């Protein structure tokens, strides 16, 4: 646990001390008591020294620095990344956060993604997740580690598909939040989610043609996309962004609404934008393009529901023969 001071019952105390006494993370997961054997360790080297499995759940921008400060770990160690984001272009190929971890740690790295909003998982509500890892030996081990009655895990060897679904759905969720901020209804959001899933598939398949169709129907795909577009932090902050009408920056909204947590959708949008431009994908991905432009280029939020030129005809219906390329609009026209 990264050490920080908090106010607890009117007294300034270290968060780790409060957690180890109460088994409650009063800042980041209030109201949830974790099992007695879970301990907060502030010394990173001590925490990882004897670990058989490292589970990575931190903003991707801190990965390299964390590895540098870890010290020696067991040679037989395996890592599982829950990090949704951290994409870069290396030699024309899209690099994943799991690739970076594998390179830095020199051991097997898998990914675990799914419709897993933290508060609901902590409350013991039923959910699913998708484990992506190549080595069959580790598939069996890690499924036993994570799978339980209320948290069901399905394994696949499709690491890029699992990881990229986890990253890209946060960008689509920004679009869902824009719709909520404009007070559009369920029909509009459903259309956006469907188009978003299609564009996620187009983006992923461009760099990883071998990605399996079945991955998009796993928890890491359509399920995670749905839950994030209805209940995640990216949707929540995007709604606030629209309602602020340009008066608040993303940094301000993050500070006000997330209590120290990080907003991943905006970071991922910034990461994929130059990749989309470099590979001429913007016209093929009009929704992801529009989300970026609303978030960072002052494009009008209501344009999220205006089909830009370049939207594939398959996104809605086949255009009639002889069509001159009609521009469709759905949702409400802005007043004035």
Distance CA(29)–CA(272), nearest Å, equals 30
Question: Is 335 annotated as contributing to ligand binding?
Answer: no
In terms of DSSP H, where are the helices of the chain?
15-22, 44-48, 63-68, 97-105, 118-122, 136-146, 159-181, 186-207, 224-231, 233-243, 250-257, 264-278, 286-296
Question: Is 84 annotated as contributing to ligand binding?
Answer: yes
Question: Is 198 annotated as contributing to ligand binding?
Answer: no
Do 113 and 130 form a contact (C-beta atoms < 8 A)?
A: yes
Q: Does 284 qualify as catalytic in the annotation?
A: no
Q: Which of 169, 189, 278, 335 is catalytic?
A: 169
Nearest CA-CA partner of 99 in 212, 192, 91: 91
Question: Is 118 annotated as contributing to ligand binding?
Answer: yes
What are phi and psi for residue 156, nearest 5 degrees? Answer: -150, 160
Distance CA(233)–CA(255), nearest Å, equals 12
Which residue do the tokens 């002889």 mark? 322
Question: Is 23 annotated as contributing to ligand binding?
Answer: no
With 0-12 / 13-18 / 19 or more C-beta atoms within 10 angstroms meaning exposed / middle / buried, residue 241 is buried
- The secondary element (H helix, E strand) that includes residue 7 is strand 5-8
C-alpha pair distances (Å), 216 with each of 172, 203, 250: 14, 13, 29
Beta partners for residue 12, in sequence order:
7
Catalytic residue set: 169
Numbered residues of the known binding site for substrate: 84, 233-234
- Annotated binding-site positions for NAD(+): 62, 118, 233, 262, 264
């Amino acid at each position: 646990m990264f050490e920080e001071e908090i106010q607890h019952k009117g007294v300034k105390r270290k968060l780790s001390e409060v957690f180890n006494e109460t088994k409650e993370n009063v800042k980041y997961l209030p109201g949830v008591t974790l099992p007695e054997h879970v301990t907060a360790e502030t010394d990173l080297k001590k925490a990882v020294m004897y670990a058989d499995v490292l589970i990575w759940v931190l903003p991707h921008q801190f990965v390299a620095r964390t590895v540098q400060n870890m010290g020696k770990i067991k040679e037989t160690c395996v890592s599982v990344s829950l990090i949704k984001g951290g994409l870069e272009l290396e030699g024309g190929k899209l690099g994943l956060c799991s690739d970076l971890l594998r390179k830095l740690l020199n051991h097997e790295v898998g990914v675990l993604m799914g419709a897993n909003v933290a508060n609901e998982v902590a409350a013991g509500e039923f959910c699913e997740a998708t484990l992506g890892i190549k080595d069959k030996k580790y598939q069996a081990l890690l499924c036993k580690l994570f799978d339980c009655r209320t948290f069901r895990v399905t394994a696949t060897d499709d690491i890029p598909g699992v990881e990229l679904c986890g990253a890209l759905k946060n960008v689509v969720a920004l679009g869902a939040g824009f719709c909520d901020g404009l007070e559009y209804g369920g029909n509009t959001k459903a259309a956006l989610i469907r188009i978003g899933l299609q564009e996620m598939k187009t983006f992923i398949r461009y760099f990883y043609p071998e990605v399996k169709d079945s991955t998009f129907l796993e928890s890491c795909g359509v399920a995670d996309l749905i839950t994030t577009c209805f209940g995640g932090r990216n949707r929540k902050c995007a709604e606030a962004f629209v309602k602020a009408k340009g008066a608040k920056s993303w940094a301000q909204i993050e500070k006000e609404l997330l209590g120290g947590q990080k907003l991943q959708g905006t970071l991922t949008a910034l990461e994929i934008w130059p990749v989309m431009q470099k590979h001429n994908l913007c016209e093929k991905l009009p929704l992801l393009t529009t989300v970026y432009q609303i978030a960072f280029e002052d494009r009008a939020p209501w344009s999220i529901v205006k089909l830009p030129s370049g939207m594939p005809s398959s996104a809605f219906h086949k255009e009639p023969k002889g069509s001159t390329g009609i521009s469709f609009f759905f949702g409400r026209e802005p007043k004035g």
